[in-house]
Structure 1
């Protein structure tokens, strides 16, 4: 970025400027603009979500890697993955990652949030956040202590049925894993079908849930295809943002505050391009230091998914159902008529939360079981019936980092997740592959003759299995922690999400998580948006 740019044109003054219209930012825009006296600006770098692969659930397979919908980031070579670099999808569209994610509604475990509170983050324990989850939720069941039914975010049961997944569920129960009545009541241990963010077989993203009810409010301005270049500062106060729209630069001013909701990769990059972060990083990319915060971009955590694949016989999967032109036509017709069937399915249908070994006092691994197999998202399905039996470590101890690679705001950041960099994670990875093998070897599945294709049969010692995990491991798209809240020198925000040492700036997205939640991250991102909106509203009254 050229810091000698001419002065941007004045776009106007707002009470609050929000950067990023994803899962958190959309909630904040909705809640704050409910007060007609508050002017709110929401800035999104991506385009509208007017694209069929956003709304048809199975389109997830084709949205990943699509430059219209996905930033298309890549990691650096990861030593723990045997030097492989991974695609690192991030939503580049209104609704953010909620427009390209797996639609799974999963809060995590009560102990995750109680752990945040025990670290000194008051207001973030399970009893604190549960009302926030309930507020935004429109659950398919009856309202109770765990679930709300009047919110904007639809949570529904899946609209399809695969008998082979029922059989895998029975095999899990045969192993001693209980059936889960509700994954979202605080303890998700068990086996069951994932609830999804859909409305009658169509994706229900953050745009539909939170922006559509608010977008006609005259006090809310929503911009798309506007890329924030940097924050504007006067001394230690953030006063607005500079953004590019087409070939022009604009400046938007904030009377009360700016909120960064650009995600665990985007928010640290904007901070660093604004001179906020580690002195060494800023010197390397040629951005003058405005405010030293050594934790910016550090503490990156993600769920590494080990995608084991088993061929089967005697049961149908999407592989063989979609193998012919007639099969594809039948699937399309079923969806067109009823919004059900394979095109309505979330990428993962059956979930299992359990323990990889006796040393763990609560579920520490999550299965995503799919009635399909393919080499990678966006690649063709395999031709013969198969299951993908993915397992991820819910609470990895490995820590990575993401930093701006250059001063060019259009350049992709450097992302190093450091998967499998700790012995504890390598042990869980080895145990996870063993666990999947035991699951597929249960007597209940014997009639389907499951045969391990990936990583393939072989020695079962820890060293070999950890190496194989490095060969098949991939991101499950849950980066968090890169602007974590806390009180120590590496913390970026305080428990009220205010950036340490600055005024007028909060961060509200998954980057603020001190530790990763034990499940998928969309629902927690919505909750963080709810919490941020409450904090901003309270500060405005103070």
Structure 2
């Protein structure tokens, strides 16, 4: 079967691109091909389901591991990534943040024309249905529902009060004029349920020109000369060929988009030949420039009924809260657990925040893979603008094999220094009266106070907070992987549209920016068809999943 456009990856950017492109070019046909399953799972819809989806590799979580990291005392890091419609928006903590305006202005100043703050803000607003209403910073009527938590744990407010007592500013809107400060996060939820990218963009509207195909792994992009003309897809035990008349778009994320480029012959020539891949374009930048938010946690045992814990009383509390959720979609099961946080400066002389905080109403030890029979809380600090740069390389030429992921965590001393200050900020907040009144003791870090000992603790316990970007870098220079219209250099008919195109990591969670990239890419592609960008308008959204139209082996073109 032929299509005009093939989009590889049904995550945050891919869902946004597919829907906007289908609506903007109704005479064109689009195939959205996703390696994982549909998002019709109760655990996906249930906000607290992230506690079960994030810790372990599964049908819905790639559960990647990094190479051993010298900066983490030789440990392998854990890299959960969403697998299935919605991508990582189906397993994330649903936090809605965009980053700082200067993050995007820095992109534009580095040669990414059209990607400054004033350029991208209209796409954030178009994407958004903020339940607080529209203003100069926010949109109303867009597909992505953004809401205040229906139930806020009292300890989340205690955290905000403690941050204020510790001398930090407070913000009630991290996506408005007051980015800096501590506060309660808004979340991508509706009526107490997760509102992932698939529910935002795919469900609730039938589009005859959009075919959504799940459980189909794209093995490589196929070329005719220098032009991308289709893909090879592994599906139901067979290899199918799908042709694209106009363009192929990779939206497989910061790990899998560069992997697919390399498996298709675009990447560092020597590395490709070492894995038996025929070289179409020698592109040394593919897979380089990997950036991620490295994060450190101070967990604290605190015996209080409002906190989550695996005690008899805590389990009874979970049961009663579960019943409340089934009746009213409120309570603990509607929580994203990381209810509060914010953006703080570890040094008042800095021009903008260098730390993001996440406050959790339970113990989070080793990505929640290590459980404790006590109640408690945890406070995270991550490096917003890391200096370390890693890479993604091939383990083999088969997309079924996980790529080699080397984030080079804490390779740069500046990142170590920032996390060290971050630990001191955490303790400063925990020691403020609003939290100190509940007592408790630190887990893993009790009694560790010297810089040397805290640095050893950081190297022994820090890991990702799940925001990898940058491996298909956008830029105007010849070494960049894609140009500012997201076209892959050296070939025709091929783009990358996801967080991998970010030249530098934004100062916040990456889910909303990934959807923004999908939104903007749709307009870039529509402009080449002679159609203008979509206007901001209301969207009809419901929760009923739409069955994907099947691709069949019958009459498949040989590409």
1:425 correspondence with 2:385: no
Alpha-carbon distance in 2 for matches of 1:315, 1:172: 22
Aligned to 2:514: 525
Identify the match of residue 109 of structure 1 among 100, 109, 112: 100
Residue 495 of structure 2 aligns to a residue whose secondary structure is strand
Query: Residues 175 and 442 of structure 1 are in contact (CA less than 8 Å); yes or no, is this contact kept in structure 2?
Result: yes
Post-superposition Cα deviations, 1:323-379, rounded to whole Å, max 9, x if no partner, equal: 555323202101111111111111310112101113421111011001100433453
1:258 correspondence with 2:232: no
Compute the displacement of 1:41 (Å).
0.8
Compute the displacement of 1:445 (Å).
2.9
> TM-score by structure 2 length?
0.92
Alpha-carbon distance in 1 for matches of 2:489, 2:515: 23
Alpha-carbon distance in 2 for matches of 1:487, 1:324: 55
1:19 correspondence with 2:12: no
Alpha-carbon distance in 2 for matches of 1:327, 1:176: 34
Query: Residues 355 and 365 of structure 1 are in contact (CA less than 8 Å); yes or no, is this contact kept in structure 2?
Result: yes
Post-superposition Cα deviations, 1:150-172, rounded to whole Å, max 9, x if no partner, equal: 10100000122222221221110
Between 204-213 and 125-134, the greater mean CA deviation after superposition: 204-213
Residue 243 of structure 2 aligns to a residue whose secondary structure is strand
Alpha-carbon distance in 2 for matches of 1:446, 1:483: 45
Alpha-carbon distance in 1 for matches of 2:177, 2:525: 27
Alpha-carbon distance in 1 for matches of 2:128, 2:312: 34
Aligned to 1:331: 321
Query: Residues 315 and 448 of structure 1 are in contact (CA less than 8 Å); yes or no, is this contact kept in structure 2?
Result: no
Give unpaired runs (5+ residues) of structure 1. Answer: 1-11
Alpha-carbon distance in 1 for matches of 2:175, 2:266: 37
Compute the displacement of 1:487 (Å).
2.4
1:435 correspondence with 2:425: yes
Query: Residues 393 and 428 of structure 1 are in contact (CA less than 8 Å); yes or no, is this contact kept in structure 2?
Result: yes
Query: Residues 295 and 489 of structure 1 are in contact (CA less than 8 Å); yes or no, is this contact kept in structure 2?
Result: no
Residue 68 of structure 2 aligns to a residue whose secondary structure is coil
Post-superposition Cα deviations, 1:407-435, rounded to whole Å, max 9, x if no partner, equal: 12210100011111011111101111111
Residue 59 of structure 2 aligns to a residue whose secondary structure is coil
Aligned to 1:156: 147
Residue 91 of structure 1 aligns to a residue whose secondary structure is coil
Compute the displacement of 1:187 (Å).
4.7
Alpha-carbon distance in 1 for matches of 2:406, 2:130: 37
Compute the displacement of 1:322 (Å).
7.0
Compute the displacement of 1:93 (Å).
1.0
Residue 484 of structure 1 aligns to a residue whose secondary structure is coil
Aligned to 2:400: 410
Alpha-carbon distance in 1 for matches of 2:244, 2:313: 55
Identify the match of residue 284 of structure 1 among 260, 271, 274: 274
Aligned to 1:372: 362
Alpha-carbon distance in 2 for matches of 1:63, 1:71: 10
Query: Residues 312 and 385 of structure 1 are in contact (CA less than 8 Å); yes or no, is this contact kept in structure 2?
Result: yes
Identify the match of residue 294 of structure 1 among 284, 293, 301: 284
1:502 correspondence with 2:503: no
Q: How does 1:143-542 map to 2 (within 5 A)?
A: 143-185=134-176, 187-214=178-205, 216-313=206-303, 316-319=306-309, 323-379=313-369, 381-461=371-451, 463-541=452-530
Compute the displacement of 1:94 (Å).
1.0
Post-superposition Cα deviations, 1:385-413, rounded to whole Å, max 9, x if no partner, equal: 31110110110000111112101221010
Query: Residues 42 and 220 of structure 1 are in contact (CA less than 8 Å); yes or no, is this contact kept in structure 2?
Result: yes
Alpha-carbon distance in 1 for matches of 2:116, 2:440: 42
Identify the match of residue 44 of structure 1 among 5, 30, 34: 34
Give unpaired runs (5+ residues) of structure 2. Answer: 532-559
Alpha-carbon distance in 2 for matches of 1:325, 1:153: 33
Query: Residues 61 and 80 of structure 2 are in contact (CA less than 8 Å); yes or no, is this contact kept in structure 1?
Result: yes
> TM-score by structure 1 length?
0.95
Compute the displacement of 1:454 (Å).
3.3
Query: Residues 7 and 251 of structure 2 are in contact (CA less than 8 Å); yes or no, is this contact kept in structure 1?
Result: yes
Post-superposition Cα deviations, 1:64-105, rounded to whole Å, max 9, x if no partner, equal: 224111112111111111111122111111111111111111
Alpha-carbon distance in 2 for matches of 1:322, 1:182: 37
Compute the displacement of 1:148 (Å).
0.6
Alpha-carbon distance in 2 for matches of 1:291, 1:444: 58
Aligned to 2:551: none
Query: Residues 46 and 226 of structure 1 are in contact (CA less than 8 Å); yes or no, is this contact kept in structure 2?
Result: yes
Cα gap change, 1:450 to 1:508, in 2 (>3 Å): same
Alpha-carbon distance in 1 for matches of 2:472, 2:526: 22
Aligned to 1:93: 84
